[in-house]
Chain A
Amino acid sequence: MAPLLEVKNLQKYFKVPAGFLHAVDGVSFQIEEGQTLGVVGESGCGKSTLGRVVLHLLDNTGGQILYKGEDITKVDHHKLSQLRREMQIIFQDPFSSLNPRMTVYQTIAEPMQIMGGYRKEDLQNRVMALMDTVGLARRFVNTYPHELDGGRRQRIGIARALALNPRFIVCDEPVSALDVSIQAQVLNLMLDIQEQMGLTYIFITHDLSVVKYISNHIMVMYLGQMVEMAPSDELFARPLHPYTQALLSAVPVPDIDHKKERIILKGELTSPINPKPGCRFAARCQYATEECFKQEPELRQVGENHTVKCHKVQA
């Protein structure tokens, strides 16, 4: 089966006074229909930019984005608006991503009004049906976002993204602004919806326990580049890239008898503006040798569906 989405060597550079900021640099992946790709990385590693470029909300600098085999960076405006029906996004912050002057009804109905073709009655029924789907009580239909808590607001964002019956949704940190008990409710909802509608997700997050829970495959990003990609279980059982290992070891585990060797990384992210040649992680890596500072490693296949970008990892 052909993948629903295929991204080849995607690049996105931003022009800044000091040169070019390499936000996304040579990322390639595929997603099969109905699957979830988790994208993890720390703030500033380019994961949100990746999500936006994939939806063509930002123009890419180079590379291809093939949705059902068609390069969406090359299609005309009309065709793109048709594609947008199928490709939606759920934003990170339910406090700033909703228009404070629009009611729940207006917010959820807006995408359908823009696309047109709904009678008023159908529109009302559809909004109510969507509110049921995401578990928002119908009595909230005429309230404004500021009257609702974070979990309910995020449900509005999800209902709006579902309004046009999409097939593919980019979820950009959809639960990171929520409390754990509410986070669990929203994660369960997203899994239920995926099962019912056969949706495909790109799930962007910095929370490794969440990403394992929801994803089939996981991509680890560091400074705009993909450093490791593997099926979820494989990645957690056998992390190969030194950055992935450090990232996994840094997560505090809520179990007092679970003692693990923690890898404390030195320093912080280096600048993504005009990056130096060589491996971008080398400055913080405990295994780095001269080769790492001089030559950028290639992405290599090291197991079934497991790729890693590091000189030191043996196949």
Chain B
Amino acid sequence: MSDTILSIKDLSIQYVSREIGTCRAVNNVSLDIQKGENLGLVGETGAGKTTIALGILRLTPKPQGRVTSGTVEFWGEDLYKKSEAEMRKIRGEKISMIFQDPMTALNPIDPVGDQISEMIWLHEKITKKEAAAKAANMLEMVGIPAARYKEYPHQFSGGMKQRVVIAMALACSPELLIADEPTTALDVTIQAQVLDMMNGLKKELGTSLLLITHDLGVVAEMCDKVAIIYAGEIVEVGTTRHIFKDTRHPYTKGLFGSLPDMNSHSKRLKPIHGLMPDPANLPQGCKFAPRCEFCTERCTKQEQELTAVSPDGHLVRCWRAVEEEGGV
């Protein structure tokens, strides 16, 4: 059996509304995650990161969201062929998700301990009492005293709420954890605590991680592989070393140029000009062409496929990067 836990092939998701028309949020995305691997999915607001995550769990909002092509295979089984009841067993037990905003991810009128134990009780054949004991253990594991089991979300700070959400996501020892900007709402010192804790728990439980973020610093610390997503497409994918040390795509380069560097003394940043295209009205050809300083006529007409630029899995979607800098 291969070690590929999740394999997304050619996934496209559209949102359709009468006012805006068809919004192409995710376009032909293919990704693989191996067992125990940490994959970072990096992009800006509106790039389609969260839509991919929802697509994996078949939680694309209905009726406006439509999966128009592609398959999502979990251990080789197509999730889109499962019944709704089977999906419910997978969500939370095999694949679980940490949502972006801990302030709204919890039910405000249920004690946090009950919210965790409900989830365990639903997925495992145990009594409510045993589930409660397990929930208390989970709280301790994420560094919250079990004595706070009966407290409500508003009695916790942002960092602690995010720990509760993480405890809930890990309660059934899932094989794959999807974390959608898990630390974006937190302060840096709390972020350091949460990342540290997630790393520790991952090692203990052997979980694979799909980490969605816009923070390249977090990626550098957490991930083995990185996919850069722009306007619903993967523009560059490779190991963390490929992306950070051998950056090929002009957009990825632009992202690094936009970051103020704490260790240098440069006086001006090199931002990417312009804005991301409207997903309801994507340009023909390369989606990044209107903002790209190397754009040629061909870029505006025809789009490059994701092409390997090194033998060990570094793929780039850019004519110039492939031709001028050498492909394989």
Contact = CB atoms under 8 A, between A and B. Distances in A.
B189 interface: yes
Interface string A170-183: 00000000011111
B122 interface: no
Nearest to B244: A256
Given A180-B258, A254-B259, 19 more contacts: A42-B187, A43-B158, A43-B187, A149-B275, A180-B255, A184-B271, A187-B269, A188-B271, A206-B187, A213-B260, A247-B189, A250-B191, A251-B262, A253-B262, A254-B244, A254-B256, A256-B244, A265-B189, A268-B159
A308 B158 CA distance: 29
A299 interface: no
Interface in B28-84: 44-45
Interface residues of B, number: 46
A209 B262 contact: yes
Contact of B45 (A179, A208, A265): A179
B188 A254 contact: no
Contacts of B192: 249-250, 262, 264-265
Interface string B190-205: 1111011000000000
Interface string B226-267: 000000000000001100110000000011111111110101
Contact of A181 (B240, B241, B255): B255
B157 interface: yes
Interface stretch (B85-93, B110-118, B211-219, B305-313): B211-219
A180 B259 contact: yes
Contacts of A254: 216-217, 219-220, 244, 256, 259
Contacts of A144: none
Interface of B: 44-45, 157-160, 187-193, 195-196, 214-221, 240-241, 244-245, 254-263, 265, 267-273, 275
Nearest to A252: B217
B258 A212 contact: no
Contacts of A248: 262
Interface in A178-224: 179-185, 187-188, 191, 206, 208-210, 212-213
Contact of B269 (A213, A236, A251, A257): A213
A255 interface: yes
Contacts, number: 112
A180 B260 CA distance: 10
A272 interface: no
A42 B273 CA distance: 31
A151 interface: yes
19 contacts: A42-B188, A150-B45, A179-B45, A182-B275, A184-B271, A185-B273, A188-B271, A206-B187, A208-B188, A209-B259, A210-B260, A213-B260, A252-B195, A252-B215, A253-B262, A254-B216, A254-B219, A256-B245, A264-B192
B220 A181 contact: no
Contacts of A268: 157, 159-160, 190
A273 interface: no
A246 interface: yes
A250 to B, nearest CB: 4
A246 B257 CA distance: 26
A257 B263 CA distance: 13
A179 B214 contact: yes
The 10 closest A-B CB pairs, nearest first, are A252-B217, A184-B271, A213-B260, A184-B258, A254-B216, A250-B192, A42-B187, A184-B269, A179-B44, A181-B272
Contacts of B159: 268
Contacts of B268: 188, 191
